[in-house]
Structure 1
Amino acid sequence: KGKIVDLLTDRADAVVRFQGGHNAGHTLVCDGQKTVLHLIPSGVLRADVQCLIGNGVVLAPDALLTELHELEERGVPVRERLRLSPACPLILPYHVELDKARELRRGDAKIGTTGRGIGPAYEDKVARRGLRLGDLAQPERFRRRLEEVLEYHNFQLEHFYHVAPLDVNAVADAALAQGEELLPMMADVTALLHELRRRGAPILFEGAQGSLLDIDHGTYPFVTSSNTTAGGTATGSGVGPLYLDYVLGITKAYT
């Protein structure tokens, strides 16, 4: 998938991630140099391509910053090219702990999660208790909401999974520090996409997993927690389905 996306970015003005998180990898080879991207859109290596992460993506601040710093060390001006939706749900340390604890408890019935907190973060989003990227712009409010959410999750971790609870101040301090780097890249991604559309600019929407991992249309329950098929493009970016001109599916001829 990464090779095809890399090829198609030559024709795009913008590349958009619309679902998933850092639980998949796209391998690119540019000028003979190999790059594996988990979260940042594949167009980031192209000088004239804008990279957007839409509201449908669950965002792990630590994973994004690690990827960003690695690219910057190679001279890629990521901060100039990348824009993040304020509506991206955050993956925080308690999501990772829950993911691992649940999979361990399933034993032989485990579903094959990557243990990176993707499922629990989407679960919080649907339950309307999730914290989002935009919340980091209001530190005191963020702390208050985190206290409520973490009290709920710590109860599960400690009393059901028998895992040590997390410290709310440590989680808050780390997230807010990461937010200082991420917030300057925050923008209304939906508005940017509609502006690009009005100009007639070609936009590439980049999926992160295969069709059979789709939460609704895949091999349930052995699936991911988002809509990986084309229908997820609209809800995960804010661009209506009428504006999606062409859908390309990719399959490997080998494993």
Structure 2
Amino acid sequence: MQATIVIDLGFGDAGKGTMVDYLSRKMVEPVIVRFNGGAQAAHNVVTPRGTHHTFSQFGSGTLVDGVRTFLSRYMLLDPYALLAESYGLEKLGIQNPMARIMVDGEALVVTPFHKAANRLREVLRGDGRHGSVGMGIGETMADMIAFPHLAVRAQDLRSIETVERKCRGLQELKYAEFKELFAVISATGLLPDELRLLTDSHAPKMVAREMVRIARLFSLVSMKTLQRLSYTHPLIFEGAQGVLIDEWHGFHPFTTWSTTTNANANVLLSEIMYPDVVTRFGVVRA
């Protein structure tokens, strides 16, 4: 079969989604592999018939019949955002889009506690805000490094007890960090839901139940699944963001918590012992 990698050679927003949609229409039932970033991605596709969708976690070829998405371990999974995106696709006539999603069990999961802390932290920066989109990506990565025992992985979504335990630990961690500043944040009138999430003792259980419920709608898999698929399906590796904001090679401090080059895609191809030629596209703005 064939494998193709699509990355952005700039700062992002160069048209990766359009390229992936185009390639998907030239192939038979390709599998789109997401290999960096998370739900903060915004890959716009407008079909020749005028159908428009902004892809975040679903592969940007999902408007094409038979296309499936594999979220690799390098992707940060946001179950809530994934479900919301599936509703948008259903309105466009895509039947049961969640059935087209496969998630590597090793993928990190962004929880509502990460997103709440991300948004609170951004508000507290005042005029020095970073411009964060508030999706908890950096927060999740930082916590994974500092508190690996609290990292929720996609494979944990099979167990309500495991997810609840880790979410309770995350809630306690974030509460301890922000409790002295609750009055300051409350005075702004901003983010009341985020404050409640860090103080509601029932929140970890409710979050765990909902994330496990959502996980039942997609397939939890491993790299062996991707290897089997590579025998019979073309693979399109869809990057996110752009190489100029890469965590290792970008222009600091304007960088992301993500490897935006084709490095992760190369690792995945090596792990499945892909034997054929790989085509690499770098997208730039016209």
CA contact (8 A) 1:88 1:133 kept: yes
CA contact (8 A) 1:136 1:176 kept: no
Root mean square deviation of aligned Cα = 2.2
TM-score scaled by length of structure 2? 0.79
> Residue 18 of structure 2 aligns with which residue?
3
| Aligned-partner Cα distance in 2 for 1:181–1:114 | 23
CA contact (8 A) 1:111 1:221 kept: no
> Residue 35 of structure 1 aligns with which residue?
53
Instruction: Provide structure 1 residue ranges, at least 5 long, that are not aligned to the other structure.
Output: none
The answer to whether 1:178 aligns with 2:238 is no
Amino acid at match of 1:196: L
Is the partner of 1:67 in helix, strand or coil? helix
Change in Cα spacing, 1:228 to 1:172, as seen in structure 2 (3 Å) is farther
> Residue 79 of structure 1 aligns with which residue?
98
Change in Cα spacing, 1:17 to 1:221, as seen in structure 2 (3 Å) is same
For this pair of structures, how many residues does the alignment match? 250
| Aligned-partner Cα distance in 2 for 1:184–1:59 | 14
If asked which structure has higher relative contact order (CA below 8 Å, sep 6+), I would say 2
1:59-98 counterparts in 2 under 5 A?
A: 59-77=77-95, 78-98=97-117
The answer to whether 1:226 aligns with 2:249 is no
Amino acid at match of 1:118: I
Residues 56-108 of structure 1 deviation map (CA, whole Å, 9 limit, x = unaligned):
11122211111111212332121332212222212112211221232233344
Larger-Rg structure: 2
Change in Cα spacing, 1:93 to 1:168, as seen in structure 2 (3 Å) is farther
> Residue 5 of structure 2 aligns with which residue?
none
Is the partner of 2:237 in helix, strand or coil? strand
TM-score scaled by length of structure 1? 0.88
| Aligned-partner Cα distance in 1 for 2:124–2:278 | 44
Q: Identity over aligned residues, as a percent? A: 29
1:1-255 counterparts in 2 under 5 A?
A: 1=15, 2-12=17-27, 13-30=30-47, 31-77=49-95, 78-127=97-146, 128=148, 129-159=150-180, 164=195, 165-197=198-230, 199=231, 201-234=233-266, 238-240=268-270, 243=274, 245-253=278-286
Amino acid at match of 2:120: A
CA contact (8 A) 2:59 2:68 kept: no
Residues 142-184 of structure 1 deviation map (CA, whole Å, 9 limit, x = unaligned):
2222222321121112136765434242243134223213234
| Aligned-partner Cα distance in 2 for 1:168–1:217 | 42
Is the partner of 2:124 in helix, strand or coil? helix
More moved, 214-223 vs 79-88 = 79-88
